[in-house]
Amino acid sequence: MSKTIKKIGVLTSGGDAPGMNAAIRSVVRTCAYYKIECVGIYRGYQGMIEGDFKEMGPRSVNNIINKGGTVLKSARSKEFKTKEGREKAYQHLVAAGIDALVIIGGDGSFTGAEIFNAEFGLPVMGIPGTIDNDIFGTSHTLGYDTALNTVVEVIDKIRDTASSHNRLFFVEVMGRDAGHLALNSGIGAGAEEILIPEENLGLDRLLESLQKSKTSGKSSSIVVIAEGDKIGKNVFELKDYVDENLPEYDVRVSVLGHMQRGGAPSCFDRVLASRFGVKAVESLLEGKSNFMVGLLNDKVALTPLEQAIKGNTEIDRELLRVSDIMST
């Protein structure tokens, strides 16, 4: 790591998340602050293979802190998974004089960074960006807070119509194989039941709970379901099952989909992205590599990339208990 870093490349990879632009801005401006050059790499690893680079200065990131998505675009790259693809990418980086990389993305992006570093020795630093909040080594990933607020706002609107018509709504939220988004937004939106992959409630328990709600005088219900939940294969099959077994319920399904990934980032995500960007660049300049920047106990901290990729995020047991009590 003795080589002095004069130019840092930054890219976004994998699914987009609100706050990615704020992180790009932070990386670019931190580089400018320390008087080193910064290069934006378009379309993630695919753009690296194709040499799709652009020099970025502090003014080129004006007015992006408040925008969702990523100005550098994101793409999934099959070619980067091959040795030849990575070799091509490395040659472009060498030609552009890029000495180190900041990768904003999820565990797939970090795996790519690990392999790339092992092969070519280029220092890499990761910033976690995904609405799923499923990366080990940080209590919050970029975009998670914004997605929570988006989901709660939408469920509030669904509740208006659910209560007007005495309906039962199944609301499916994103989260891949992790229930963080469903659990937190479910509690925040006052859902009657929350189904997440980490806790297999079983169909009988769901029916029992809905039956209880009906008996206790609840005329409408909201059930939040994580997309990776194992209980009902998919949300529409779950609806059919309830229709069959509890015909007194008028059931509707709402799949929130990609709206959860968009929108202006919350203040929390903007501040977090700014902190992560500064830490990533400073860590590279200190000679560190193969770490992910994260938030642990409200402090910005580094976790080895390998742990961030392999580690599992735990669901908060206390929140499960709160959710249980709140659905009384």
Answer whether 305's CB lies under 8 Å from 55's CB.
Answer: no
52: annotated active-site residue: no
Rounded to whole angstroms, the Cα distance separating 27 from 150 reads 26
Q: Are strands 221-226 and 193-195 parallel, antiparallel or unpaired?
A: parallel
Q: Determine phi and psi for 24, rounding to 5 degrees.
A: -60, -45
Provide the CA 94 distance to its chain's centre, in angstroms.
31
Catalytic residue among 99, 107, 132, 229: 132
Cα(first)–Cα(last) distance of the chain, in Å? 57
Which DSSP category does 59 fall into? G
Rounded to whole angstroms, the Cα distance separating 269 from 277 reads 12
* 184: exposed, middle or buried (Cβ count in 10 Å: 0-12, 13-18, 19+): buried
Answer whether 181's CB lies under 8 Å from 146's CB.
Answer: no
C-alpha pair distances (Å), 99 with each of 52, 243, 275 = 16, 60, 22
Rounded to whole angstroms, the Cα distance separating 23 from 8 reads 14
Q: Which residues contact 325 (CB under 8 A, 6 or more apart)?
A: none
Return the structure tokens found at 23: 């992180």
- Other residues' Cβ atoms within 10 Å of the Cβ of residue 305: 23
Please give the torsion angle defined by the CA atoms of residues 318, 323, 324 and 326, in that order, rounded to the nearest 10 degrees: 120
Q: Which residues are identified as catalytic?
A: 132
